[in-house]
A and B are shown apart, each in its own frame.
Chain A
């Protein structure tokens, strides 16, 4: 999937076909658009055919142009729309809003009009959002793949919990409280005592281990509630489609796939990548704006690539929303290359065609190419002609990200800086765990994060191709080495990963503390876990890897081969983390197969030359043709 965004509802019906043709000319094979509830529902009736709400005409034109379609149904689609795409009768309805402990509705202060944050626990909101999804699904049904253009349908909010931390700002809607009590009553006794000790209205009222455990419990509860709502939305869509074909929430080959998205918040997204990966095969990464710190995008892309079955970049900013500060325009392609190097198997460039409340895009509103469009065109055509997007990385090491420790960190951050802390930290590209005490070996402390950071730094120093894996994800770890931050209280999912890795005879490094009990229930941990490593040094990791990793010819150079399902090499990603330029001759030294490489921009043409720039990424594909004499 090589997609670009075109907001059909922001263009006249007759201007859609030339826009689609122009996008196709840039090498795009799929067009993406949100389907905003607010555009189609005026509070009296739902309409998909009027000018300005012409979804049907848009899909017909996409089919005629031979383009696939990715539709984002929301309910909260963002898209810089007033009310984030929620119709006014939903956005200002107090009955549907998430509530604070005092019963006051939660507000999302976004321009140009604030709105109430809807509660995904509210039965009324669930019913209305499911009805919306069912209505769109019914309209979209004739256009579903394999016969029609619609290949992927994305559900869920652009930023779950509307940018609020569910631990720092728990939802106290009566339906949420009832669901929490139900979950508490269903939990095993020890888990109930440890994780459900404090009701949502009082969390995070107390600091200390009990407060953090309650915060982790609340985080788990909120995330599972969000995922349950996603499943309800998926059920509504599947039910509308069942007359035509059986419900296929996991999208077998050729059929439409239901998926969801994850905001690019580094390793601290509001909902776990693993949990979303267990719910949907297709999980997209929404990188809404060029990140202030590239590390956040790298972390997000690697975490998703390591934790979902079909990861892709569902929103890669070309340009930026006008509400956010504008960053340097030096290399608009860097984000795309970063995602491709991480192994994401599809990209949506946003915007393909410029629009209201957005600055930039591949094409402007009048379909004139932006100055940087030719550089994107080369790479997009290269992606289309190569097999890069069919490739998957085979990392030598997997660095585990225990989601319960992330929840503990978010709870501690909320205690420290209030409800918006996590959202603000993500906006600025900060890791909230960096604010915590690095000597604190509790799930609400910073010791686990310091260990993870050290491990990642050592892997980067050695140039080991590594993946970041959410411990709650459905993907089996096949890397020869697993690195896992562990504390005395270890999550069940982390312990299971450690045991599985040991059972297949692979290497494990964990630390800074030895797990002594399971975090949620307080049970004893399995015997035979390795002794903890206080700080995972490069030498220790090299020793654990043994012959599984050939050191690169230059320091801090990561070389990742991508293989297709048949095991053939389809690409090579070179990531230079050093401040020095590395010539390609040196960078390729020791890469066994194949013999020649060409640029992904021009697959199969002249052999790649030049160098890998400092802090830069180069993408190569196998096979090159010698330049013929004229």
Chain B
């Protein structure tokens, strides 16, 4: 899936920094927190021994946290909230040693990065279930860990061989970041920044004018695009970080997000998501003037399923992976409430 001789080039630091900011600094009204703000509680015999705050370094343990009792999920949650952290992890040396052993056990010299890492994900899950590792919030406990074959299948569906995929975000001063990925022989062989296209100018907010040329150059220098997402950065943030419910369908309608080319799988995915979001919006609207509590009886999941059945459409990614990535995103968007 990831070629051993993967090329990553023409990534300007400004572009990479913008992408990093995009991924880690959600809007203030988002329910996803800043992932850079994390806590690691080190345990000795499952009891608190030291606390590391990724922002402030090692900090003293709070007085309310007893050092002679095992840490539980409630204590970890309180610790996270008190320190304003987005996530917290509690682990002891034994658990970390076991994970280290899982890294060794999962290593296959002939396998690629993801094939080696998936057994580690399973080891983390096992440690979590055994109570050796605690996470707060525990968002993805029920998410099935896909097999390497299903991840490969999903990648082949999303990005077929000898094709490229583009993700571009634009701000008020033009390009924020743009990435192009190229796939050959079942693996990503190259990831590049916008500069790799030979310096196509993007003027301020008029970025839509540059899209056809970007697509043509990507086809010429990389491979014909299979999917391209071009978006206004602030709108994209709203969609990803879930600060607004029906942001995606509206952005597509107003062309603040352009998906070009739009592959069939994405069309189905967006259609189903839009149906679910529409049902959600309907419920929100209904709540405002609903003295009989009808809104609570409106089952969003059932409506989405019904739409899916009537359209005869099936979420292709969910079929291959075993779970729906958009449902995972929706769950992540509840982060701060957990």
- Cβ contacts A294-328/B at 8 Å (1 or 0 each): 00000000000000000000000001101001111
Whether A18 sits at the interface, judged by CB under 8 Å, is no
Q: Across the interface, do A435 and B50 meet the contact criterion of CB distance under 8 Å? A: yes
Whether B116 sits at the interface, judged by CB under 8 Å, is yes
Given contacts A112-B3, A419-B97, A428-B54, contact A328 B17 (CB under 8 A): yes
Q: Which of A319, A326, A359, A419 contacts B100 (CB 8 A)?
A: A419
Q: Which of B7, B17, B44, B50 contacts A326 (CB 8 A)?
A: B17
Q: Across the interface, do B113 and A112 meet the contact criterion of CB distance under 8 Å? A: yes
Residues of B close to A109: CB separation below 8 A? 103, 116-117
Q: Across the interface, do A320 and B104 meet the contact criterion of CB distance under 8 Å? A: no
Q: Across the interface, do B11 and A359 meet the contact criterion of CB distance under 8 Å? A: yes
B44 to chain A, nearest CB (A): 7
Q: Across the interface, do A92 and B100 meet the contact criterion of CB distance under 8 Å? A: no
Whether A431 sits at the interface, judged by CB under 8 Å, is yes
- Interface locus among A99-107, A181-189, A478-486, A551-559: A99-107
Whether B62 sits at the interface, judged by CB under 8 Å, is no
Residues of A close to B116: CB separation below 8 A? 109, 114
In this complex, the member of A82, A357, A415, A418 whose beta carbon has the largest number of chain B beta carbons within 10 angstroms is: A418
Whether A25 sits at the interface, judged by CB under 8 Å, is no
Q: Across the interface, do A113 and B17 meet the contact criterion of CB distance under 8 Å? A: no
B1 to chain A, nearest CB (A): 10
Whether B154 sits at the interface, judged by CB under 8 Å, is no
In the bound complex, CA of A431 to CA of B49 (Å) = 16
Residues of B close to A359: CB separation below 8 A? 11-13, 15-16
Residues of B close to A428: CB separation below 8 A? 52, 54
* Residues in B8-64 with C-beta less than 8 Å from chain A: 8-17, 19-20, 24, 36, 42, 44, 49-50, 52, 54, 57-58
Whether B216 sits at the interface, judged by CB under 8 Å, is no
Whether A190 sits at the interface, judged by CB under 8 Å, is no
Whether B139 sits at the interface, judged by CB under 8 Å, is no
Residues of B close to A357: CB separation below 8 A? 6-9
Q: Which of A111, A293, A370 contacts B2 (CB 8 A)?
A: A111
In the bound complex, CA of A91 to CA of B94 (Å) = 28
Q: Across the interface, do A104 and B105 meet the contact criterion of CB distance under 8 Å? A: yes
Q: Across the interface, do A325 and B9 meet the contact criterion of CB distance under 8 Å? A: no
Q: Across the interface, do B13 and A113 meet the contact criterion of CB distance under 8 Å? A: no
Q: Across the interface, do A435 and B58 meet the contact criterion of CB distance under 8 Å? A: yes
- Cβ contacts A458-497/B at 8 Å (1 or 0 each): 0000000000000000000000000000000000000000
Whether B101 sits at the interface, judged by CB under 8 Å, is yes
In this complex, the member of B4, B10, B16, B101 whose beta carbon has the largest number of chain A beta carbons within 10 angstroms is: B16
Whether B262 sits at the interface, judged by CB under 8 Å, is no
Residues of B close to A322: CB separation below 8 A? 8, 11, 16
Whether B107 sits at the interface, judged by CB under 8 Å, is yes
Q: Across the interface, do B104 and A105 meet the contact criterion of CB distance under 8 Å? A: yes
Describe A's contact surface by its main secondary structure: loop
Whether A356 sits at the interface, judged by CB under 8 Å, is yes
Q: Across the interface, do B13 and A320 meet the contact criterion of CB distance under 8 Å? A: yes
- Cβ contacts A111-123/B at 8 Å (1 or 0 each): 1111010000000
Q: Across the interface, do A364 and B195 meet the contact criterion of CB distance under 8 Å? A: yes
Residues of A close to B103: CB separation below 8 A? 107, 109, 114
Whether A148 sits at the interface, judged by CB under 8 Å, is no
* Residues in B101-139 with C-beta less than 8 Å from chain A: 101, 103-105, 107, 109, 112-113, 116-117
Given contacts A104-B105, A355-B9, contact A326 B16 (CB under 8 A): yes
Q: Which of B8, B24, B57, B112 contacts A434 (CB 8 A)?
A: B57
In the bound complex, CA of A420 to CA of B120 (Å) = 15
Q: Across the interface, do A114 and B16 meet the contact criterion of CB distance under 8 Å? A: no
In the bound complex, CA of A418 to CA of B93 (Å) = 5
In the bound complex, CA of A104 to CA of B8 (Å) = 32
Residues of A close to B100: CB separation below 8 A? 169, 418-420
Residues of A close to B50: CB separation below 8 A? 416-417, 435-436
In the bound complex, CA of A430 to CA of B91 (Å) = 18
In this complex, the member of B17, B44, B91, B112 whose beta carbon has the largest number of chain A beta carbons within 10 angstroms is: B17
Residues of B close to A111: CB separation below 8 A? 2, 113
Q: Across the interface, do A112 and B44 meet the contact criterion of CB distance under 8 Å? A: no
In the bound complex, CA of A421 to CA of B43 (Å) = 13
In the bound complex, CA of A51 to CA of B94 (Å) = 49
Q: Across the interface, do B4 and A112 meet the contact criterion of CB distance under 8 Å? A: yes
Whether A365 sits at the interface, judged by CB under 8 Å, is yes
Q: Across the interface, do B17 and A329 meet the contact criterion of CB distance under 8 Å? A: yes
Residues of A close to B97: CB separation below 8 A? 418-419
- Cβ contacts B51-92/A at 8 Å (1 or 0 each): 010100110000000000000000000000000000000010
Q: Across the interface, do B5 and A82 meet the contact criterion of CB distance under 8 Å? A: yes
* Residues in A335-373 with C-beta less than 8 Å from chain B: 354-357, 359-360, 364-365, 370
Q: Across the interface, do A319 and B3 meet the contact criterion of CB distance under 8 Å? A: no
Q: Across the interface, do A325 and B20 meet the contact criterion of CB distance under 8 Å? A: yes
Given contacts A113-B113, A435-B52, contact A356 B8 (CB under 8 A): yes
Whether B96 sits at the interface, judged by CB under 8 Å, is yes
Residues of B close to A113: CB separation below 8 A? 4, 112-113
Residues of B close to A327: CB separation below 8 A? 17
Q: Across the interface, do A319 and B13 meet the contact criterion of CB distance under 8 Å? A: yes
* Residues in A74-100 with C-beta less than 8 Å from chain B: 82, 91-92, 100
B209 to chain A, nearest CB (A): 24
In this complex, the member of B93, B94, B101 whose beta carbon has the largest number of chain A beta carbons within 10 angstroms is: B93
Q: Across the interface, do A114 and B113 meet the contact criterion of CB distance under 8 Å? A: yes
Contacts beyond the supplied A169-B100, A435-B58: 19 A-B pairs with Cβ under 8 Å: A82-B5, A105-B104, A111-B2, A112-B3, A114-B103, A322-B11, A325-B20, A329-B17, A355-B9, A357-B8, A359-B11, A359-B12, A417-B96, A430-B58, A431-B58, A434-B57, A435-B49, A435-B50, A436-B50
Q: Which 7 pairs across A and B sit closest by C-beta, in order of nearness? A: A418-B96, A92-B109, A434-B58, A360-B13, A435-B50, A326-B17, A359-B11
Spell out A's residues near B (CB within 8 Å): 82, 91-92, 100, 102, 104-107, 109, 111-114, 116, 169, 293, 319-320, 322, 325-329, 354-357, 359-360, 364-365, 370, 414-421, 428-431, 434-436
Spell out B's residues near A (CB within 8 Å): 2-17, 19-20, 24, 36, 42, 44, 49-50, 52, 54, 57-58, 91, 93-94, 96-97, 100-101, 103-105, 107, 109, 112-113, 116-117, 195
A-B CB contact pairs (8 Å), 20 listed: A104-B105, A112-B2, A112-B3, A320-B13, A326-B19, A326-B20, A356-B9, A359-B13, A359-B16, A360-B12, A364-B10, A365-B9, A414-B93, A416-B44, A417-B42, A417-B93, A420-B96, A428-B52, A429-B57, A436-B50
